Each structure stands twice: as C-alpha cells, then as structure tokens.
C-alpha cells in the first residue's frame, strides 16, 4: 500500500477545523469522503501535520495518505480535486517512504495572521478589521519578547497537566501591506489558540492598551488577559510546514485576497 504526501490549501470558513469530528463538517472529513469516492476503498488513513481550529485557513497543510490504489500521484491529485468542494484543493501529491509521518517529521510550522486597517468588501472572511490606529513599532517591540523558548500556558486552552506548554518560537515578523498588516509567526509547534492569543496581545499593544514590556510579564505569569484578547479565527492561515532538509527562508507573501486598487476617475 503506497503512502502519499498531500499538500492542501483550504478556506476554513465553512469547517469546524481540520480534524474529523462526529456531527461536524471538517476538512479532514471531506478529504476522506473524496478518497472513498475516488479509490473505492473504505480502509485507509489520512493523517495531518496538525490541527487547525474552526474557521482557520491553510495555504499549505500537509497530510499523509495510506491507501491501496494503482493511481499515480498526479492522477490521484486530479481525481480528488474533481470531487472535493471548491474551498479545499490538493496542491501536490507525491509518493513517499512509509517512514514519512506528516506530524512527527515536521520540524517547524509558520502561521500568518492578517489584519486590515479599513473595512474591505473582499477580505472579511480572511482578515480581522481593527478599527483603531495601530502603532506597528510598539507591536514589533512586543513581538520580540515572544522569540525563544517560553511557557505559553496563558496563551492556550491546552491543559499544562496533560501536555507541555513550552514552545520554541523562532521568529515573529510584522509587515505592512496597505490596507493589511501581516503577522508571521514561526516555531517548532503551536498550542491550541496560541497564535490567535499572541496576535490579540500584539494588537492590544498596537492600540495602546498594553505596552511592549507587558508581553514578557504575560509569559511569566498565569494570566487570563491573553484569553480575553483572542483574535478572531478568520485572519489566521497555516502558511507552511517544514520538514528536514527544506529551506527555511520565508518568501514575501502577498495578502489574501488582495483588494482591488482604488483608482480615481480620470477627468476629461
């Protein structure tokens, strides 16, 4: 039975996250439905690199699929795309070693969060409209405090008694692309709601409700403040999952979707 590595993009708006659940529509669930339809098999495994929460999107989620089929990887990709909903797309499919594991072999992950500084008709499902002016320099100062190995207990609903809440954050970058502000966060792994709470804290710094020196304090203490500041799911994208030997250089990504440029009517 071959093992396929699948790279997928999806708009998470209509889904209750990646992981299959009873009585809920999930991305993994619709992928499994497509595999059944395309291969005629009931026994197979689809295993993702990690969960994404309800409403969260992915530009390059990775999963491995074990299924008995004679289809070549490209044919499998094309047939899956023919039956998948339009908001879930298999970008790439490749046969890999059975030693490859989508979650355990991942060495880092990068998330992107999109803010918009004005109301936009095109980006509401994909960005958080922050109405107040943002001090991006203060946000960048606060972001520096997240870099390194820290205990993110106050930034997750995961129970510290059940799993470690210590996470290595390797980079936090803030970039302006009018009318968007893009926050990229790269690390070894991420806890439930962690990225959205990091973003919420940084936005509060940008608004002036917190100062940059509050960020290390929130990391040191068990505080309810990050939970109260959790950013909406709509602006969050799983941007990249990295595996051994892959380049870690981040490309300058454009906002999604990019709103049309405003043109002033010409005068004759």
User: What is the C-alpha separation between 204 and 201, in angstroms, rounded?
Assistant: 5
Tokens of 83: 């039956």
3-state DSSP assignment of residue 205: helix
DSSP 8-state secondary structure symbol assigned to residue 266 = P
For β-strands 128-129 and 108-116, DSSP reports them as parallel
Q: Is-catalytic flag, 53?
A: yes
Query: Around Cβ 154, how many Cβ atoms within 10 Å?
Result: 19
CA dihedral 255, 258, 262, 263 (to 10 degrees): 110
The active-site residue, picked from 33, 42, 53, 141, is 53
Question: Among candidates 107, 100, 102, which has minimal Cα distance to 189?
Answer: 107
Question: Among candidates 202, 201, 197, 195, which has minimal Cα distance to 181?
Answer: 202
Active-site positions?
Answer: 53
């Amino acid at each position: 039975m071959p093992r396929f590595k699948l790279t997928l993009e999806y708009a998470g708006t209509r889904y209750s996250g990646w992981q299959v659940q009873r009585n809920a529509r999930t991305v993994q669930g619709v992928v499994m439905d497509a595999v059944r339809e395309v291969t005629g098999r009931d026994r197979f495994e689809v295993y993702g690199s990690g969960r994404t929460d309800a409403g969260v999107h992915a530009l390059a989620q990775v999963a491995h699929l074990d299924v008995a089929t004679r289809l070549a990887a490209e044919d499998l990709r094309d047939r899956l795309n023919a039956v998948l909903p339009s908001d879930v797309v298999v970008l790439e499919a490749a046969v890999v070693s059975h030693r490859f594991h989508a979650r355990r072999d991942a060495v880092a992950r990068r998330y992107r969060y999109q803010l918009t500084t004005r109301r936009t008709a095109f980006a509401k499902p994909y960005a958080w409209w922050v109405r107040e002016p943002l001090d991006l320099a203060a946000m960048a100062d606060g972001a520096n405090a997240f870099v390194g190995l820290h205990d993110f207990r106050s930034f997750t609903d995961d129970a510290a008694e059940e799993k470690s809440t210590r996470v290595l954050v390797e980079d936090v970058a803030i970039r302006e692309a009018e009318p968007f502000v893009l926050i990229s966060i790269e690390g070894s792994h991420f806890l439930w709601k962690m990225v959205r709470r990091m973003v919420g804290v940084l936005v509060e710094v940008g608004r002036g409700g917190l100062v940059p020196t509050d960020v290390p304090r929130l990391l040191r203490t068990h505080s309810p403040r990050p939970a109260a500041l959790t950013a909406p799911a709509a602006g969050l994208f799983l941007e990249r999952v990295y595996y051994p030997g892959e380049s870690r250089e981040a490309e300058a990504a454009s906002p999604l979707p990019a709103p049309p440029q405003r043109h002033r009517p010409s005068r004759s």
